[in-house]
Amino acid sequence: MPIAKSELTDTLRNTESPPEDYLAAGVFVDSDQPEIVEFAHGYAGTGEDCERVVNLYYAVRDRIDYDPYFVGRNPDYYRASVCLHEGRGFCIPKAALLAACCRAINIPARVGYADVRNHLSTTRLEELIGGDVYYWHSYTDTWIEGRWIKSTPAFNAELCERLNVHPLEFDGVNDSLFQEYNRSGERHMEYVNYRGAFADVPYERIVADFAAHHRNWLASRGD
């Protein structure tokens, strides 16, 4: 059963772990890498936390191309620093990159996941994915002014323009998760299963599910 937007927004608004637990560098959210530190400080600006996170959201969204074909079994496809270095990545490394950038400027951040149905997926991608449900679609959860705020920096504005979808905007106050409809009013995306939020990318679990549900996609690059 699809998850209503309001239900997803309220799910895990708070966390049992204190926000400080989401400041350290991880294996995939590798916020201590010099290139990430430089990128984060270069685009965050000097305003309040909310403004700085918003600046980083747009930097990751639009300066890193969304590439659903740049995926494989190799852990590097899921790593924030590799995503930044390559200038492209799918939703998982882009969300990890935004989280890493936030941590690099001392703002707690984590990565969250849900299975989503894309009603407007291309035939080529559906054949590769094995349907219209994408497992472990990722977003970033950032601690701003005493609460967790969700944002999805996956789809760059140029790509959205080509796909007739409004770019996903973010104000640092309200959750920004997915585009329910395209510009023509057609159903676009819905969340069907919430998987939770993590301090680092749960690589082993993701690859296991990709192997079970997205076998051709996972093997498409041969590594």
3-class DSSP string for the chain: CCECHHHHHHCCCCCCCCHHHHCCCCCCCCCCCHHHHHHHHHHHCCCCHHHHHHHHHHHHHHHCEECCCCCCCCHHHHCHHHHHHHCEECHHHHHHHHHHHHHHCCCCEEEEEEEEEECCCCHHHHHHHCCCEEEEEEEEEEEECCEEEEECCCCCHHHHHHCCCCCCCCCCCCCECCCCECCCCCECEEEEEEEEEECCCCHHHHHHHHHHHCHHHHCCCCC
Catalogue all structural domains in the chain, each as residue range(s) with its CATH number.
5-218 (3.10.620.30)
- What is the predicted pLDDT for the residue at 10? 47
210 near 129, Cβ under 8 Å?
Answer: no
- What is the predicted pLDDT for the residue at 1? 42
* Residue in the structure block whose two tokens are 């936390």: 49
- What is the predicted pLDDT for the residue at 16? 54
Mean pLDDT, rounded, for 190-204: 93
Q: What is the pLDDT of residues 69-104, one digit of tens each?
A: 999 999 999 999 999 999 999 999 999 999 999 999
Is the model's pLDDT at 219 over the cut of 70? yes
pLDDT band at 119 (very low <50, low <70, confident <90, very high): low
- What is the predicted pLDDT for the residue at 181? 57
Q: What is the pLDDT of residues 132-188, one digit of tens each?
A: 899 999 999 999 999 999 999 999 999 888 888 888 999 999 999 877 656 667 656
Q: How far apart are CA 40 and CA 169, in angstroms?
A: 19
Sequence letter at residue 176: S
| Structure token digits, residue 31 | 């916020």
Residue 206 CB contacts under 8 Å (≥ 6 apart), including other chains = 78, 92, 113, 135, 136
The predicted model scores a pTM of 0.90
Q: How far apart are CA 207 and CA 135, in angstroms?
A: 10
Angle at 173 between CA 162 and CA 29, to 5 degrees: 70
Is the model's pLDDT at 211 over the cut of 80? yes
Q: What is the pLDDT of residues 11-68, one digit of tens each?
A: 444 445 679 899 999 999 999 999 999 999 999 999 999 999 999 999 999 999 999 9
Mean pLDDT, rounded, for 200-220: 94
